[in-house]
A and B are shown apart, each in its own frame.
Chain A
Amino acid sequence: MNQINPLQIGALLVVVIAFLFFKLHGVKSELVEATTSYKQSEKLAVEVSSLKAVYANKKKTKNAINRILAQGSLRTAALDVKRNKKSIKISSKSIETKALNSLMGKILNGSYNITTLKIKRLSETKASLDMEIQW
């Protein structure tokens, strides 16, 4: 006839519920943390991806510059173009200002990572150019 005190069962249930509340709080905190982390990761991923697409896409940058250099106004300009793994160097000891304007207009209006630039006026119609673009 040994019976369990209902108060003990009640206390046990209260302890179990308190533990479950504590556990739920923990899981919900983890959920909030995971959601925040996911949103941050997604935002970061989009930003990194779009920045890389602009400044670290070797193929895209190379093709775009090749298209600019192939334009009629620049075909006749005596441009010295050197390409390597990380950059492209464009230089000219004497370039027509018209061609220079056309080239620089396209380069400056595009998203290229210009690391060095030197434009020196030689005369009213001529200038020298040294430029390096990296990716």
Chain B
Amino acid sequence: MNFKRTSTTIFLDPSFEAKVEYAKGEKLNVILSPSLYWVKKIALPVKSVREAKKLLASIFEDSLPEGHYSYTAYKSGDEFLVFAYEDKKILSLLNAKGISTVDIRSIHFAQNEFSTLEGAIKINATQSMYLKDEVLVLAPSSWISESKDLDLATLELSKRTIKLQQFGHIVDNKSLYKIGAILVILALVLMVEIFVASSKKDAIVMLKDEVFSKYKLQSTMFQNRSTKSKYKNIHKTQTKLRQYISYFLTMKLKKTQKITLIEYKSKVLYVTIDGTSKGHERSITSQLDAKGVKYKVSYSGESMKVEMKI
């Protein structure tokens, strides 16, 4: 089985109106017509292409119409060939020709592919291209006495290719990297925060477990709350019992009045005071009222029985 896809070379020029026909799965090598880019051959005070690329925007600054341009450069002897092109314009043209970017293997400048051109080549009904001072230029065919036809079948393509920025017109690369970097940093910060918060939570859960074992608590909070409620009730009842008993032990009684019984059972306190007939209990009840004690009074002869719920 042969997995290698076949490829076809096409020459892309805005004057070609017909759609490009190619088989499904076939890959295209695209050569850009000189009308799709700007080129200059210049000497620059730098040695490498990488350094030269940093200067390209300023080199073309005043010579290009308004638009969003990409730049590239190649070494040509002691000089540099510098290019400016509009990705969006080329992509639109490819789209208009029915070429999907997925099917493109490589994109070349005609300048690089016809650098050894001798004479002129006719690229459409009215225009031809030829080398002038090592720069490939377009001219009306009527100016040129003899033009060859364009033959791509025998052309050997160079390795000098470009990649079109499909979305360069939406946002430029620098801004894109900045926004991307900010978002990535934000994501990292959030991840660190999640990790820190999660670690803190785990540490607190461990501390909680330690509290349970240190204080020998029961396994559930419900059980522990129930235990607390039970002992709080005991504490409340015992405090109240002592308080009520102290009220009676410190109570001012008449000489004839004597406490004969103090009884506490089933959370009820009974106090029996002898020498107090019905209608003469005011001196006792007024003292209880002043303390805010709720009580019931019953009589048996000269005995007064005070009943209080604890």
**B42 within 8 Å of A (CB atoms):** no
Q: Which residues of A contact B234 (CB under 8 A)?
A: 51, 55, 113
**B241 within 8 Å of A (CB atoms):** yes
Residues of B in contact, count (CB < 8 Å): 58
User: Do the beta carbons of B262 and A118 come within 8 Å of each other?
Assistant: yes
**B225 within 8 Å of A (CB atoms):** yes
Q: Which residues of A contact B165 (CB under 8 A)?
A: 3
CB distance from B98 to the nearest CB of A (A): 15
Judged by DSSP, the binding face of B is helix
User: Do the beta carbons of A10 and B190 come within 8 Å of each other?
Assistant: no
Q: Which residues of B contact A75 (CB under 8 A)?
A: none
User: Do the beta carbons of B212 and A38 come within 8 Å of each other?
Assistant: no
CB distance from B241 to the nearest CB of A (A): 6
Knowing A23-B194, A118-B263 touch, does A47 contact B176 (C-beta < 8 A)?
no
Knowing A46-B215, A51-B231 touch, does A1 contact B164 (C-beta < 8 A)?
yes
Interface residues of B in 191-249 (CB under 8 A from A): 191, 193-194, 197-198, 200-201, 204-205, 207-208, 211-212, 214-217, 221, 224-225, 227-228, 231-232, 234-235, 238, 241-242, 245-246
Residues of A in contact, count (CB < 8 Å): 49
User: Do the beta carbons of B217 and A48 come within 8 Å of each other?
Assistant: yes
CB distance from A119 to the nearest CB of B (A): 5
**A66 within 8 Å of B (CB atoms):** no
Q: Which residues of B contact A10 (CB under 8 A)?
A: 179-180, 183
In the complex, what distance in Å separates the CA atom of A92 from the CA atom of B190?
A: 75
User: Do the beta carbons of A17 and B221 come within 8 Å of each other?
Assistant: no
User: Do the beta carbons of B208 and A49 come within 8 Å of each other?
Assistant: no
Stretch touching chain A among B45-53, B101-109, B126-134: B101-109
CB distance from B40 to the nearest CB of A (A): 26
User: Do the beta carbons of A119 and B197 come within 8 Å of each other?
Assistant: no
**A52 within 8 Å of B (CB atoms):** yes
User: Do the beta carbons of B241 and A114 come within 8 Å of each other?
Assistant: yes
CB distance from B211 to the nearest CB of A (A): 5
Q: Which residues of B contact A47 (CB under 8 A)?
A: 228, 232
Q: Which residues of A contact B205 (CB under 8 A)?
A: 34, 38
In the complex, what distance in Å separates the CA atom of A113 from the CA atom of B231?
A: 10
Q: Which residues of A contact B183 (CB under 8 A)?
A: 10, 13-14, 17
User: Do the beta carbons of B215 and A48 come within 8 Å of each other?
Assistant: yes
Contact with B along A71-94 (1 / 0, CB 8 A): 000000000000000000000000
Q: Which residues of A contact B125 (CB under 8 A)?
A: none
User: Do the beta carbons of B264 and A27 come within 8 Å of each other?
Assistant: no
Q: Which residues of A contact B224 (CB under 8 A)?
A: 41, 44-45, 48
Top 5 A-B pairs, shortest CB-CB distance: A51-B231, A45-B215, A20-B190, A117-B264, A13-B183
Which residues in B have some Cβ–Cβ distance to A below 8 Å?
101-102, 104, 107, 163-167, 170-171, 176, 179-180, 183-184, 186-187, 190-191, 193-194, 197-198, 200-201, 204-205, 207-208, 211-212, 214-217, 221, 224-225, 227-228, 231-232, 234-235, 238, 241-242, 245-246, 258-265
| 10 intermolecular pairs with C-beta atoms under 8 Å apart | A10-B180, A17-B186, A27-B194, A34-B201, A41-B211, A42-B211, A44-B224, A44-B228, A45-B215, A121-B259
Known: A1-B101, A3-B166, A7-B170. 18 other contacts (CB 8 A): A1-B104, A6-B176, A14-B183, A17-B187, A23-B190, A24-B197, A27-B198, A41-B217, A44-B224, A45-B212, A45-B214, A48-B215, A108-B245, A111-B235, A114-B264, A118-B263, A119-B261, A119-B262
